[in-house]
Amino acid sequence: MLLKRLLFAGLLASIFYACANNTPTDQTTHGTGANNDTATVDGHPAWIMQGNIYEVNVRQYTPEGTFKAFANHLQRLKNMGVQTLWFMPINPISKIERKGVLGSYYAVANYTAINPEFGTMDDWKDLVKQCHEMGFKVIIDWVPNHTGADHYWLKAHPDFYVTDSTGKAVSQFDWSDTRKLNYQNPALVDSMINCMKFWVAQSNIDGFRCDYAVGPTREFWKKCITDLKKEKNLFMLAEADSAWLHEVGFDATYTWSEFNAMKAVAAGKAPATAIDSALAVLDKDFAPNALKLYFTSNHDENSWNKADYGTMPGAIHAPFAVLTQTIGRSVPCIYSGQEEPFLDSVSFFYKDTITFSKYSRAPFYNTLLHLRDSTPALAANAAFIKLKTSQDAAAYAYERTKNGKKVVVLLNLCNKPLSFTLTTGEQGSFKNVFTQKAELLTKGQAYQLPAWGYLVYAN
């Protein structure tokens, strides 16, 4: 029995060491005792239901590429209506087999340290504190499937990794700068959860965006999310579109199918009804309370697939952006530079600063983000009713309703002017949210929209 106790004590010490080693000795926190956001709706943090997400690429956001430099943009983003800031990985990047000059953010060298490119741990804590004081929520990108190729666990805990027949830690796909973690190892499971708790305790973050969330096991996520939500009312976002992720506790998943349908419609390769097909799968396979991250671009789609400047160029982008902000179940996301818009890919492995000067889309986003915040009809759980039109191959129409409030959305998803009527839908007095003028919607009314045009009405 004594031997068993000693072995158990040794295991606990090893687990603690795995995430405590190489971490800052300063254990001060910013406001962790002042967290009052405990309310939930449909099992999710209440604050996300009418919220939104803005993805921050710290490296490329400013010439300096630091937390302090990014902080100068906070007031502008607040004015635009941004609620939640998602920071791409803030951890140090491995140097062994590094890609490019600066490496991939997703090849993490230490889960409980700050990338020195961006600043110090104190700089990060100060930034989160400032964000909270301004009313923002903060989530960080987390990479649980793999570490970088020189993470200290490779030497200290080689059993944390999946290995080949020779005992060498393996890489997945073309991620040669990473090494795959082994979630069959209970010590790894506990160590990873402790590393995630570290950021909640040390900097009072509000959630995680979890990279390649289908990599770890279901059992891991169920334990992890249960444990994390005991610490704080966190928002958990999975970078994947598998329904089972909601069953293990994730609040929101990606909309890869919906996004691919939007791209096909934008390219003229599919009718507007292709979006309905994607939504039908969502309604069939996903839990009724499952939230979905809608976007027209993100770091992957921009860097590798030319979103949105190539996938939805020019005027084509607007109706799809409206859709992401107003569709049912949506938690809408904007990527760094889309408000400019920055019409180029942003490098993944090299310094490639986003140029800000005109903010041409900012008023457009301002209208949509503030509308979402102000009306329960755009809450993620508000009713979504698809409206039939006389031109369903090109016109996409729907209404959202909750607590007596309604929003009607009319989109022209084709490259020609469109005239159509609604064969179902709401009538009465509404305000055009972009012109701020009152308009009477009547039965049989003909709507005229330019190519890629849009109308949004609210009561």
Please report the pLDDT score of residue 76 as a whole number. 98
| Contact status, residue 211 vs residue 104, Cβ threshold 8 Å | no
Distances (CA, A) of 117 to 20, 57, 110, 163, 270: 22, 12, 14, 31, 43
Q: Is residue 30 part of a domain?
A: no
Point out the domain boundary residue: 381, 415, 442. Answer: 381
Distance of CA 298 to the CA centre of its chain: 8
Point out the domain boundary residue: 356, 381, 406. Answer: 381
Considering the domain architecture, whether residues 72 and 126 belong to the same structural domain is answered as yes
329: containing domain: 40-381
Considering the domain architecture, whether residues 371 and 401 belong to the same structural domain is answered as no
Considering the domain architecture, whether residues 322 and 418 belong to the same structural domain is answered as no
Whether 162 has a pLDDT exceeding 60, the answer reads yes
Considering the domain architecture, whether residues 49 and 172 belong to the same structural domain is answered as yes
Of 174, 22, 19, which is closest to residue 106 (Cα–Cα)?
A: 174
Q: Is residue 67 part of a domain?
A: yes
**Checking DSSP bridges between strand 291-294 and strand 330-335, what pairing results, if any?**
parallel
Tell me the residue length of the chain.
459
Considering the domain architecture, whether residues 208 and 356 belong to the same structural domain is answered as yes
pLDDT in tens, 276-307: 999 999 999 999 999 999 999 999 999 999 99
- What's the rounded mean pLDDT across residues 134-154? 98
What b-and-e string marks burial along 82-120, b requiring 16 or more CB atoms within 10 Å of the CB? bbbbbbbbbbbbbeebbbeebbbbbbbbbbbebbebbbe
| Contact status, residue 337 vs residue 70, Cβ threshold 8 Å | no
Helix (H) or strand (E) holding 127: helix 121-133
Q: By three-state DSSP, how is residue 74 classified?
A: helix
Whether 15 has a pLDDT exceeding 60, the answer reads no
Q: Is residue 418 part of a domain?
A: yes
Of 410, 398, 408, which is closest to residue 375 (Cα–Cα)?
A: 408
Considering the domain architecture, whether residues 245 and 306 belong to the same structural domain is answered as yes
DSSP H helix total and E strand total for the chain: 14, 20
- What's the rounded mean pLDDT across residues 241-257? 98
Of 135, 124, 35, which is closest to residue 80 (Cα–Cα)?
A: 135
- The set of residues, in sequence order, having a beta carbon less than 8 Å from that of 262 and lying 6+ positions away, is 275, 296, 312, 320, 323
Q: Is residue 160 part of a domain?
A: yes
Return the axis-axis angle of helices 186-203 and 121-133, rounded to nearest 10°: 60
Q: Is residue 235 part of a domain?
A: yes
Q: In the chain, how many domains are there?
A: 2
Q: What's the CATH code of the domain at 400? A: 2.60.40.1180
How wide is the angle at C-alpha 389 spanned by C-alphas 383 and 393, nearest 5°? Answer: 105
- What's the rounded mean pLDDT across residues 393-401? 98
Considering the domain architecture, whether residues 355 and 447 belong to the same structural domain is answered as no
Q: Is residue 20 part of a domain?
A: no
Beta strands in 88-162 (DSSP E): 137-142, 146-148
Considering the domain architecture, whether residues 204 and 81 belong to the same structural domain is answered as yes
Helix (H) or strand (E) holding 395: strand 395-402
Point out the domain boundary residue: 320, 355, 381. Answer: 381
- What's the rounded mean pLDDT across residues 43-52? 98
How far apart (Å, rounded) are the C-alpha atoms in residues 424 and 389?
7
Considering the domain architecture, whether residues 446 and 351 belong to the same structural domain is answered as no
| Contact status, residue 157 vs residue 18, Cβ threshold 8 Å | yes
Distances (CA, A) of 420 to 94, 321, 391, 407, 417: 56, 21, 6, 19, 10
- The set of residues, in sequence order, having a beta carbon less than 8 Å from that of 173 and lying 6+ positions away, is none
How is residue 134 written in tokens? 């301004």
pLDDT in tens, 101-135: 999 999 999 999 999 999 999 999 999 999 999 99
If pLDDT is split at 50, 70 and 90, which confidence band does 21 have? very low
pLDDT in tens, 175-231: 999 999 999 999 999 999 999 999 999 999 999 999 999 999 999 999 999 999 999
pLDDT in tens, 26-40: 333 333 333 458 999
Considering the domain architecture, whether residues 125 and 222 belong to the same structural domain is answered as yes
What is the chain's Cα-based Rg? 23
Considering the domain architecture, whether residues 330 and 408 belong to the same structural domain is answered as no
Please report the pLDDT score of residue 23 as a whole number. 37
Please report the pLDDT score of residue 443 as a whole number. 86
Considering the domain architecture, whether residues 412 and 370 belong to the same structural domain is answered as no
Distances (CA, A) of 390 to 241, 254, 454: 32, 31, 16
Q: Is residue 386 part of a domain?
A: no
Which DSSP string do the residues of 319-365 spell out, in sequence order?
HHHHHHHHSTTEEEEEETTTTTT--SPPPSSS--PPP-S--TTHHHH
The whole model's pTM is what?
Answer: 0.93
Q: Is residue 227 part of a domain?
A: yes
**Range in 5-14, 127-136, 147-156 with the lowest mean pLDDT:** 5-14
- What is the longest distance spanned by two Cα atoms in the chain? 83
